[in-house]
Amino acid sequence: MLRALCLNQSTGRESQVLRPLAGEEALWVRLAGRAHATYVRMRPWRAGARWVAQLVPGLFDRDLAFHEFRWHVVEAARGYAAISRIRRRVPRDVAHVTGHSLAFGMGRVMQELPVVVSAAASAGEWARMGIWTDLRPYTDMMTAPSLAMERHALERAALVRTMKSIRQSVPRAHIVSHHPGIDTARLGPAARSKRGLSRLLFVGGRFREKGGEDLLKALDPYIGTEIELDVVTPQAVAGRDGLRVHHFWRDDAEMLDLFQQANLLCLPTHGDAVPCVVLEALACGTPVISATVGAIPELLWFGKCGLILRPGDIRSLRDSVVGLLANRARRIAMGNRGRAEIELRFDARRQGGSASRAYGGCSCAPRACSLSSIAVHYTLARAFGQNIGTITMRRAVFRPRRATAH
């Protein structure tokens, strides 16, 4: 039986709210019964980590503080420390890392243990979303060190399970198409109770970035008169007539009931990769309205299981919600298609079976060159032109040390 070591990216409070490996459905239901999985509990950030990633007054406001890179350095150190702490005590055949920045510092580990990285979106794509910092003419140069770390790790990983975004960013990595599996036995449709108003559901930890404020602005005239809106978020949102705010755990029975009873899930997010709530709603036969961000268009089968809008388009959001709530036949058709797609492409047991077969053939990475030289070369390449960068990277960085010519 395959022995897997599993790390999931979470910090402090998030580890309590999201629960271990919630997004991966306990590593595809323990790789469909073909593997023994050991879960590594990530430790919260310590004082030193917070100091490294702290905001720099003046520079941060102008996005000149390399804040994203410093955050990735901390996460890389956490990942390396966690896997080093456990792998010598608990021998394993393969390591599975969810949240690919944890793998940024695992170059040495990858030479001794096959590491499979599950990545939702590339560092460059997160930067281009503009949800953490504003987009500026020099954004590419500021993210260059992070991109170098990402490329260094993913090209040396035994396997990268991801969506299309990273396939374009790191073409030389060993990439397989990845759809996060969910437990279709636990999540499924149920009869909806009759109510006077249509029920709309929003689920998001980062209320503003997930589009919660846009949704309230778009539906303000309809909430309480034509629509009941359930908002699930850890953040403080004022309730009112027709607007209920919940602070549920992810696996609470009330959370499942909201998915099953809602007429629509609405997630007009500004920054996301592969939001699990979209898959959970579709598994319950609930159609989704979301945004053209990350892998959401692919999750919604490019409009067959829901509607896809530009983030921040308040008018289109209002018209789409009102129009779809008024068209019951279209909602039912989208919900049925969504459930069928979940069973075909996102079932955890299907995913676990394919993953265990792929993991069994994984091998360790060759000897890698130093991460510091990669960061320097890649930053200079981004600063002085892509042509120079391509030549420099091919000759000096992304070959084993014995073939490197400086």
Mean pLDDT within 82-96: 80
With respect to residue 110, please indicate whether it lies within any of the assigned structural domains. Answer: yes
Tell me the residue ranges of DSSP E strands in 17-81: 35-40
Tell me which residue of 207, 191, 185 sits closest to 286, measured CA to CA.
Answer: 191
CB distance 184 to 347 below 8 Å:
yes
Question: What contacts 170, CB < 8 A, 6 or more positions away?
Answer: 122, 150, 151, 154, 155, 160
389 within some domain: no
- Please give the structure tokens belonging to residue 130: 């503009």
The closest of 254, 199, 269, 203 to 229, measured between CA atoms, is 199
160 with 30, same domain: the answer is yes
- The pLDDT score that the predictor gives to residue 278 is 94
Residues 129 and 212 in one domain: no
Other Cβ atoms within 10 Å of 22 Cβ, number: 17
Structure tokens at 203: 């689920």
* pLDDT per position as a tens digit, 103-127: 998 988 898 889 988 887 788 787 7
Q: How far apart are CA 363 and CA 94, in angstroms?
A: 9
pLDDT above 50: residue 384: no
Q: What number is the average pLDDT over the span 57-78?
A: 73
Q: Which pLDDT band, with edges at 50, 70 and 90, does 311 fall under?
A: very high
Distances (CA, A) of 275 to 46, 210, 236: 28, 10, 21
74: alpha, beta or left? (left if phi > 0; alpha if psi -120 to 50): alpha
Does one domain contain both 71 and 202? no
In sequence order, the β-bridge partners of residue 307 are 289
373 inside domain = no
253 versus 403: the higher-pLDDT residue is: 253
Does residue 191 surpass a pLDDT of 90? yes
Give the CA count within 13 Å in the CB-facing half-sphere of 245: 12
pLDDT at site 253:
79
Residue 29 scores a pLDDT above 60? no
pLDDT of residue 402: 36
CATH code: domain of residue 231: 3.40.50.2000
Pair 176, 206 in one domain: no
Q: Within a domain: residue 377?
A: no
Confidence of residue 318 (pLDDT cuts 50, 70, 90): very high
Confidence band, pLDDT 50/70/90 cuts, at residue 307 = very high
54 and 175, same domain (yes or no): yes
CATH number, domain containing residue 87: 3.40.50
**Three-state secondary structure readout of 242-295:** CEEEECCCCCCHHHHHHHHHCCEEEECCCCCCCCHHHHHHHHCCCCEEEECCCC
Whether residues 257 and 357 share a domain: the answer is no
pLDDT at 248: 76
Mean pLDDT of the chain: 78
Amino acid at 70: R
With respect to residue 330, please indicate whether it lies within any of the assigned structural domains. Answer: yes
Q: For the chain, what percent of residues have pLDDT higher than 90?
A: 32
Give the phi and the psi of residue 69 in degrees, each rounded to 5.
Answer: -65, -45
Radius of gyration of the chain (CA): 22
Q: Which domain holds residue 209?
A: 198-346
pLDDT for 381 beyond 60 = no
Across 42-50, average pLDDT: 70
**Which token pair is 401?**
């040390």
pLDDT of residue 108: 85
- Which of 172-186, 187-201, 248-262, 372-386 shows the lowest per-residue confidence on average (mean pLDDT)? 372-386
| Complete edge-to-edge strand list for the sheet that includes strand 264-267 | 243-246, 227-232, 198-203, 264-267, 288-291, 306-309
User: By percentage, how much of the chain surpasses pLDDT 70?
Assistant: 71
Q: Is residue 359, in this structure, part of any structural domain at all? A: yes
- The whole-model pTM stands at 0.76
Place of tokens 């809106």: 229
pLDDT tens per residue, range 200-251: 999 998 899 999 999 999 999 999 999 999 999 999 999 999 999 998 776 6
Q: Is the pLDDT of residue 183 over 80?
A: yes
Q: Are residues 7 and 146 in the same domain?
A: yes
pLDDT band of 87, cuts 50, 70, 90: confident
Q: How far, in Å, CA of 230 to CA of 307, rounded? A: 19
Which of 35-39, 96-100, 366-370 shows the lowest per-residue confidence on average (mean pLDDT)?
366-370
pLDDT of residue 18: 33
In a domain, 289, yes or no: yes
The answer to whether residues 156 and 233 belong to one domain is no
